[in-house]
């Protein structure tokens, strides 16, 4: 879509334009008008016409004679000569003596009519236009501070190269939901007739980079209506009241352009719960109030649809989500396997790519990646191809790009010491071996032990577990055991431990804690929730809701649970000590091992 710049032509432009039009008008039109009215002929012609009795009306003036032909079609004039028989001859020719055949206009009136009047008209027009522009720029007549209350929303107009639904892949449910809005914008009467009104606001919720902004643009693109886009944080300004004024201005613009889509990104920046605490942000609250007022202020069928995106739906003020405001919520989740494949294909259309690329395989390897990350993976692959001087990207480019996007670039100058490299190899194999022995299947796609710019010393590409919505207690326990497997391998092989397991420890603890406090998988607490998730899409923070006494009990149980799994992992590795050494040796040597190679060695 194209962004439209507001017209910012200076005043002088309009005046010059007016003057130019005026001059052209006078030059072209004036002689034409006069020429049509009176034809000047010589006295001879006049005499001939008199003799031929071809004179209709005649008027003899002081210094000229004005006359018409018999049919009174044309008016002629000629200079007056000293001609004593003039009147007699005219009388004989049957001419009719008349007065004021041509209405004589005074020169003053001519000037007034042809020069001053248009000038006045054009100046008035110029003034009117400039006033309109000033109003627009200052956000209405009652905004006193120059430009500060202006909404500065990005406005996109309809255009054929806008984003369409086909550009957004893997979010079919969301698309289906929004298709109704598109249909409404195309054909509002269908809905009005039956008395149905569209929701005024639709909230798109989901993790970052899943295509919420894209979806909003696609709705505008499909419906072929203007698209106003603004981020929630742009409303919040230094000065109290400015945000509210921006909201007002945005809605004023939108109503003028209806039907249209207004998109507010990161709405949580203004829509946070108003908690009434001391020192809470006054400006934000006023902005939110103004938004609520505006949403109540227009009719459901006015054709303005407000889309908003957030990744913290739980932090929104309930007033914002109640019916009549953002009463529809469209989840935009991370893509599943099929979705990832589709997204990769959509983005691969934009780059040159080898014909034999297996997108399904790449999608499987990029488990957990968001749409934005997948877009980035395709782009990285293309960049890699350019770096290698090739004309198209290959499967290998894509696979390497997954690691680049998720784990960062390879750190060229961070050389692990020999001892470190050996420890990392054992650690990573430890995870994989524990996982493989528990499930009897390939636990990983690939392990590499090349340091990455993100700080990771090794990178394990997990296998896609399939879409699966329930986890049994055993599965979670196995997962915890797998997390502890890295550290356990260090202990088994070297008898000492390193800091390399800090992330594993965090993850294992989180899982164990959730089992006890949220999933009701402990003996003592039965089905009582001790914690609630407060931040579903951003890391999943939780807040405790129990007594201090219970808390310490939870802590004890978490410790016991993790300890048990750690023991289990140690047991598995001790039993498979030979395989551990062999696999770690292979990884140390080659720096990379695929799931296939791993299983081959394990099952030898
Ligand atoms: P959000 O608003 O959810 O944070 P965006 O809509 O800004 O995410 O997406 C960022 C970029 O990621 C898009 O420009 C697009 O290239 C890519 N992307 C994300 N989701 C998808 C998807 N479902 N299909 C295709 N591309 C996507
Ligand atoms: Zn680890």
Phi, psi of 525 (to 5 degrees): -90, -5
- Nearest C-alpha to atom 12 of ligand 1 is from which residue? 372
For residue 338, how many other CB atoms are within 10 A of its CB?
Answer: 14
- CB 209 less than 6 A from any atom of ligand 1: yes
Phi, psi of 22 (to 5 degrees): -60, -45
Which pair of structure tokens corresponds to residue 514? 């959730």
Phi, psi of 308 (to 5 degrees): -135, 150
Say which of 234, 294, 342, 428 is annotated catalytic: 428
pTM of the model: 0.61
- CB 339 less than 6 A from any atom of ligand 1: no
**Ligand 1 pocket mutation, candidates 167, 208, 214, 312, criterion most atoms within 8 A of CB:** 214
pLDDT at 573: 95
pLDDT at 143: 37
Cα–Cα distance measured from residue 123 to residue 19, given in angstroms and rounded to the nearest whole number: 9
**Ligand 1 pocket mutation, candidates 227, 369, 375, criterion most atoms within 8 A of CB:** 375
CB-based contact 333:206 (threshold 8 Å)? yes
- CB 208 less than 6 A from any atom of ligand 1: yes
Q: Which residue has the tokens 């742009």?
A: 234
Residue 155: pLDDT band with limits 50, 70, 90:
low
25 vs 94 pLDDT, higher one: 94
Cα–Cα distance measured from residue 561 to residue 181, given in angstroms and rounded to the nearest whole number: 50
Phi, psi of 495 (to 5 degrees): 70, 10
Residue 185: pLDDT band with limits 50, 70, 90:
confident
Q: What's the Cα-to-Cα distance from 564 to each of 128, 182, 557, rounded to whole Å? A: 81, 55, 11
- CB 421 less than 6 A from any atom of ligand 1: no
Which pair of structure tokens corresponds to residue 286? 């006023």
Cα–Cα distance measured from residue 372 to residue 207, given in angstroms and rounded to the nearest whole number: 11
Q: What's the Cα-to-Cα distance from 157 to each of 135, 137, 221, 255, 257, rounded to whole Å? A: 22, 19, 9, 15, 10
Cα–Cα distance measured from residue 151 to residue 45, given in angstroms and rounded to the nearest whole number: 74
Lowest-pLDDT choice from 162-176, 450-464, 507-521: 450-464
Phi, psi of 142 (to 5 degrees): -95, 10
pLDDT at 328: 86
89 vs 106 pLDDT, higher one: 89
- CB 331 less than 6 A from any atom of ligand 1: no
Phi, psi of 526 (to 5 degrees): 50, -140
* pLDDT tens-place string over residues 525-560: 888 888 877 766 666 667 777 888 888 999 999 999
Per-residue pLDDT, averaged over 387-401, amounts to 91
Cα–Cα nearest to 262, from 296, 311, 237, 225: 225
pLDDT at 138: 45
Per-residue pLDDT, averaged over 238-266, amounts to 83
The whole-chain average pLDDT of the chain stands at 81
For residue 126, how many other CB atoms are within 10 A of its CB?
Answer: 19
Cα–Cα distance measured from residue 448 to residue 402, given in angstroms and rounded to the nearest whole number: 12
Which pair of structure tokens corresponds to residue 601? 């060695």
> In whole angstroms, how large is the CA radius of gyration of the chain?
41
User: Which ligand neighbours the alpha carbon of 229 most closely?
Assistant: 1
Cα–Cα distance measured from residue 368 to residue 335, given in angstroms and rounded to the nearest whole number: 8
First-to-last C-alpha distance (Å) of the chain: 58
CB-based contact 312:535 (threshold 8 Å)? yes
% helix, strand, coil for the chain, step of 5: 55, 15, 35
413 vs 85 pLDDT, higher one: 85
- CB 561 less than 6 A from any atom of ligand 1: no
Per-residue pLDDT, averaged over 370-384, amounts to 92
Closest ligand 1 atom number to CA of residue 167: 25
pLDDT at 561: 94
Q: Which residue has the tokens 């006359």?
A: 67
Q: Which residue has the tokens 């796609």?
A: 445
Which pair of structure tokens corresponds to residue 189? 């009467």
CB-based contact 564:508 (threshold 8 Å)? no
Is the model's pLDDT at 351 over the cut of 80? yes
59 a catalytic residue: no
Q: What angle do CA 123, 115, 104 make, to 5 degrees?
A: 145
Characterise 118 by phi-psi region: left (phi > 0), alpha (psi -120 to 50), beta (else): alpha
Cα–Cα distance measured from residue 273 to residue 284, given in angstroms and rounded to the nearest whole number: 10
Is the model's pLDDT at 32 over the cut of 70? no
Cα–Cα distance measured from residue 191 to residue 543, given in angstroms and rounded to the nearest whole number: 44
pLDDT at 23: 76
Per-residue pLDDT, averaged over 211-216, amounts to 90
User: Which ligand neighbours the alpha carbon of 482 most closely?
Assistant: 2
Cα–Cα nearest to 129, from 21, 17, 24: 17
Which pair of structure tokens corresponds to residue 170? 């893997």
CB-based contact 234:149 (threshold 8 Å)? no
């Amino acid at each position: 879509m194209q962004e439209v710049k507001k017209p910012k032509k200076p005043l002088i432009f309009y005046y010059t334009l007016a003057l130019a039009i005026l001059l052209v008008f006078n030059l072209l039109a004036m002689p034409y008008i006069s020429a049509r009215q009176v034809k000047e002929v010589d006295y001879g012609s006049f005499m001939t016409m008199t003799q031929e009795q071809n004179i209709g009306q005649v008027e003899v003036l002081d210094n000229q004679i004005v006359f018409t032909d018999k049919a009174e079609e044309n008016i002629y004039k000629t200079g007056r000569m000293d001609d004593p028989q003039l009147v007699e001859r005219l009388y004989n020719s049957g001419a009719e003596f008349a007065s004021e055949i041509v209405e004589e206009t005074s020169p003053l009136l001519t000037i007034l009519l042809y020069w001053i009047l248009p000038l006045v008209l054009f100046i008035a027009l110029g003034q009117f236009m400039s006033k309109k522009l000033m109003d627009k720029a200052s956000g209405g007549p009652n905004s006193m501070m120059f430009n500060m209350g202006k909404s500065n929303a990005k406005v996109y107009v309809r255009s054929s190269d806008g984003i369409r639904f086909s550009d957004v892949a893997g979010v079919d449910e969301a698309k289906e939901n929004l298709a109704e809005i598109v249909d409404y914008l195309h054909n509002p009467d269908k809905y009005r007739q039956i008395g149905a009104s569209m929701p005024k606001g639709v909230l798109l919720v989901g993790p970052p980079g899943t295509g919420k902004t894209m979806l909003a643009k696609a709705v505008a693109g499909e419906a072929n209506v203007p698209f106003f886009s603004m981020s929630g944080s742009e409303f919040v300004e230094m000065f109290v009241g400015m945000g509210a004024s921006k909201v007002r201005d945005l809605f004023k613009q939108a109503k003028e352009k209806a039907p249209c889509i207004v998109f507010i990104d990161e709405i949580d920046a203004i829509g946070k719960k108003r908690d009434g605490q001391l020192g809470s942000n006054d400006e934000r609250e006023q902005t939110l109030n103004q938004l609520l007022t505006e949403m109540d202020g227009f009719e459901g069928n006015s054709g303005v649809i407000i889309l908003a995106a957030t990744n913290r739906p739980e932090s929104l003020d309930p007033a914002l989500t109640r019916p009549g405001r953002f009463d529809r919520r469209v989840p935009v989740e991370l893509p599943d396997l099929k979705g990832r494949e589709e997204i990769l294909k959509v983005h691969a259309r934009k780059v040159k790519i080898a014909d034999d690329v297996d997108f399904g395989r790449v999608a499987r390897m990029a488990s957990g990646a968001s749409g934005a990350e997948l877009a980035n993976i395709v782009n990285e692959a293309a960049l890699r191809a350019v770096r290698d001087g090739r004309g198209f990207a290959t499967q290998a480019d894509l696979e390497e790009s997954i690691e680049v996007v998720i784990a960062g670039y390879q750190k060229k100058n961070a050389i692990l010491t020999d001892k470190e490299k050996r420890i990392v190899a054992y650690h990573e194999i430890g995870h994989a071996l524990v996982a493989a022995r528990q499930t009897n299947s390939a636990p990983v796609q690939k392990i590499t032990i090349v340091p990455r710019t993100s700080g990771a010393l090794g990178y394990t590409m997990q296998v896609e577990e399939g879409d699966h919505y329930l986890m049994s207690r055993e599965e979670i326990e196995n997962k915890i055991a797998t997390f502890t497997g890295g550290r356990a391998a260090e202990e088994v092989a070297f008898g000492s431990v390193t800091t390399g397991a800090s992330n594993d420890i965090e993850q294992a603890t989180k899982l164990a804690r959730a089992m006890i406090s949220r999933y009701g998988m402990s003996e003592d607490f039965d089905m009582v929730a001790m914690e609630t998730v407060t931040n579903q899409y951003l890391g999943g923070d939780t807040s405790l809701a129990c007594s201090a006494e219970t808390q310490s009990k939870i802590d004890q149980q978490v410790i016991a649970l993790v300890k048990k799994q750690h023991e289990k992992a140690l047991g598995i590795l001790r039993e498979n000590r030979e395989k551990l050494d062999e696999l770690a040796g292979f990884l140390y040597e080659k720096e990379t091992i695929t799931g296939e190679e791993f299983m081959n060695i394990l099952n030898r």
